[in-house]
Amino acid sequence: MTLSPSPVPFDAAALDRLMEEAGLDVLFVTSKHNVQYLLGGYRFFMFDIMDATGLSRYLPIVVYPKGRPDLVAYVGNPNETFEHELGRLWPAHLRLRARGSVDAMHHGLDHLSKQGIRAESIGIEAGFLPADAFETLKRARPGARVADCVEVLESLRAVKTDVELHHLRTASERVVEAMRATFAWLEPGRTKREVVEFLRRQQTDRGLVFEYGLITAGKSFNRAPSDQRIGEGDILSLDSGGNYRGYIGDLCRMAVLGEPGAELEDALAFVGTVQQGARAPIRSGATGEDIFAAALPLTAGVREGRIGFVAHGMGLVSHEAPRLMDDGPIPYPARHRFHPLREGMVLSLETTWLHPRLGFLKLEDTVAVTSDGCEAYGDGARGWTRAGTPN
């Protein structure tokens, strides 16, 4: 199926430059998030949750030849013709006939052959390509160099558009709204599992897709939903991801059943001080190293328990470019730590204090880099919320 091409919804010239630097002729893009990005926000509703179908899986593919956006192809499921009828697919070349991973790859390869596209070096998303589809590609193009293109696509997405920033702001604000509603509902005797389920419904009611809810209660550091009951005087942390149109809102807020007392007030205020210190140097042209140079000295004086600080990029993925640290919870190289931050990049800042007497204390904030500073998304409820009271 071939139609006149529509405007390309991303910076094709930038992608071509990145491909040139990586020595890639063509990309086979197969992750849901990058397919969504290249298709201008489109994600097929039918397989948004589960990929399995029959004996195989749904495998969308965007085939992108360097310098030829007019030859971009999209390989999808036959039911995506309904979406095409609504004008939601921009590529001129649509192959909406794939029922599994192997035939999806065959359609992509056939497009290369029929269009005469040079493919001596092919970029794939190695972590997002099934083994049977990869073997099909290798058999069809035995002489081609096949390389991982995840970092190429991540670099393309690092600076967010105004639409993306809106989605991230919306996701963040609604996650915090859902947390506030959950804290207001909370009362002694509720289980951690019940709290997370209530939070899930609150996020869903606000138009988010609930992804996860990490929760601690009392002095325990265990963050899994469970049948542990929350008692009077307990502190509670909610660290949750809520997805809005593919973009993640990921924040952590604290509550207490009762009054926090001076020591708890001081402890959370200290965590907030580290968070604010980390924000201070953020602006276009600053580096990730500037963030750590501001935040880490503030944690050095802690004598009780363990305190840690993390900063990472976020967007369609909870940890993406700019990647600022190689010793954080997710293993990846800190390729961007000493590179200038750019306006439109979005960062998550996290300070966690595992206090042996008080319990688990954490704040996680989302900030967008601006020309002269940063703008926080979902920045409410950063102190102690008194659970069980309107807020």
Local confidence band at 307 (pLDDT 50, 70, 90 cut-offs): very high
Tokens 């990049």 correspond to 345
Report helix angle 261-279 to 288-299, nearest 10.
160
CATH number 3.40.350.10 is the correct assignment for the domain at 12-157:
yes
CB atoms within 10 A of CB 199: 24
Residues 21-47 pLDDT 10s:
999 999 999 999 999 999 999 999 999
* Phi and psi angles of residue 236, each rounded to the nearest 5 degrees, phi first: -140, 135
Q: Which structure tokens are listed for 379?
A: 């920045």
Residues 63-117 pLDDT 10s:
999 999 999 999 999 999 999 999 999 999 999 999 999 999 999 999 999 999 9
**Residues contacting 194, CB < 8 A, separation 6+:** none
**Pick from 9, 61, 64, 58: which is nearest to 35 by CA?**
61
Separation of alpha carbons 169 and 374, rounded Å: 13
Separation of alpha carbons 73 and 90, rounded Å: 9
pLDDT score at 2: 42
Local confidence band at 1 (pLDDT 50, 70, 90 cut-offs): very low
Domain boundaries, the chain: 12-157, 162-386
Residues 274-299 pLDDT 10s:
999 999 999 999 999 999 999 999 99
Task: Tell me the pLDDT of the chain averaged across its residues.
Answer: 96
Separation of alpha carbons 221 and 305, rounded Å: 12
Question: Which residues make beta-bridge pairs with 365?
Answer: 349
Residues 250-278 pLDDT 10s:
999 999 999 999 999 999 999 999 999 99
Separation of alpha carbons 103 and 140, rounded Å: 13
| pLDDT tops 70 at residue 5 | no
pTM over 0.85: yes
Residues in the chain: 391
230-259: average pLDDT: 97
- State the distance between the two ends of the chain, measured CA to CA, in whole angstroms: 54
Local confidence band at 301 (pLDDT 50, 70, 90 cut-offs): confident
CATH topology of domain 162-386: Creatine Amidinohydrolase (3.90.230)
| pLDDT tops 90 at residue 4 | no
pLDDT score at 6: 62
Report helix angle 162-185 to 192-205, nearest 10.
140
pLDDT score at 380: 96
3-state SS assignment for residue 342: coil
Residues 314-370 pLDDT 10s:
999 999 999 999 999 999 999 999 999 999 999 999 999 999 999 999 999 999 999
| pLDDT tops 90 at residue 3 | no
Residues 136-187 pLDDT 10s:
999 999 999 999 999 999 999 999 999 999 999 999 999 999 999 999 999 9
